[in-house]
Structure 1
Amino acid sequence: MNRRPSLPGAAELFRLTSAAPAEVSSVSSDEVAPQQRRGSGRTKHTTKITVYVSDEELMALEQARLLLRGSHGLGVDRGRVVREAIAIVLDDLETHGDASLLVRRLREQ
């Protein structure tokens, strides 16, 4: 009698957990308004980056998270706030190019 537990193999541990991305339509951009980016929300993320922030930036991010929860009833984590902010900034850059908030602020530095 074997007393060792049966453990899953690597294939079960590292399998894909989300569906494949939808097919891109062949409609020209003149016929359809550009699709707005969205943060990825609560999903398993496969890629990680490390971003260093100051103590003040981290405190502001945490205060924003608490404001979203307390005043708006949105229980989100800091990562979700950051992903949504990135989506907003990238949409603005794509839409407004040289006049985007990101370009203007980076030029100020």
Structure 2
Amino acid sequence: MNRRASLPGAAELFRSTGGPTDEGWFERRPNNHHAAASPRRGTPRQKHTAKITVYVSDEELLALEHARLALRATHGLAVDRGRVVREAIAVVLADLEERGEDSVLVRRLRHDTGK
């Protein structure tokens, strides 16, 4: 009896999911800081077509979990960590699009890199 698990091949792992690839909150917008920014939204719980891996510190993971629990306990929002992260990304990207040089992201990254 063979005790090895049957694993999918590369073609199955990297196949297209058939979902949209150039729609949604990540689509490219014109670089016009004076135009009214379209409201960005994180995507709700659904099957997503792309995946990234992000490494965080123990403290960052704990803070994320505390935020998730606070959303549930205080605001009645039962969401997973991925949803919180997608919403946070949408907020930061909307701020960058709207405020450009004065955005929170630019200021924080400049502070971290010392520029």
Give unmatched runs, 5+ long, in structure 1. 1-9, 23-28
Q: Distance in 2 between matches of 1:74 and 1:89?
A: 21
- Which of 47, 51, 63 is matched with 1:48 structurally? 51
Q: Distance in 2 between matches of 1:80 and 1:15?
A: 20
Q: Distance in 1 between matches of 2:23 and 2:59?
A: 37
Q: What's the Cα RMSD here?
A: 2.4
TM-score, structure 2 normalization: 0.68
Percent of paired sites with the same residue: 62
Q: Distance in 2 between matches of 1:17 and 1:93?
A: 27
- Look at both structures and tell me which one has the larger radius of gyration over its CA atoms: 1
Q: Give the aligned residue type for 1:100.
A: S
Q: Map residues 72-83 of structure 1 onto 2, 5 A cutoff.
A: 72-83=75-86
**Cross-structure match for 2:66:** 63
In the TM superposition, residue 43 of structure 1 has moved relative to its aligned partner by 1.3
Number of equivalent positions: 88
Runs of 4+ in structure 1 deviating by more than 4 angstroms, as ranges, are none
Q: Which has the higher contact order (CA 8 A, sep 6+)?
A: 2
Secondary structure of the 1:33 match is coil
Matched, 1:35 2:38: yes
How big is each residue's C-alpha offset from its partner over 1:31-81, in whole Å with a ceiling of 9 and x where there is no partner? Answer: x83311100111110100000000000000000000000000000000000
The 8 Å contact of residues 42 and 83 in structure 2, kept in 1 or not, is answered as yes
TM-score, structure 1 normalization: 0.71
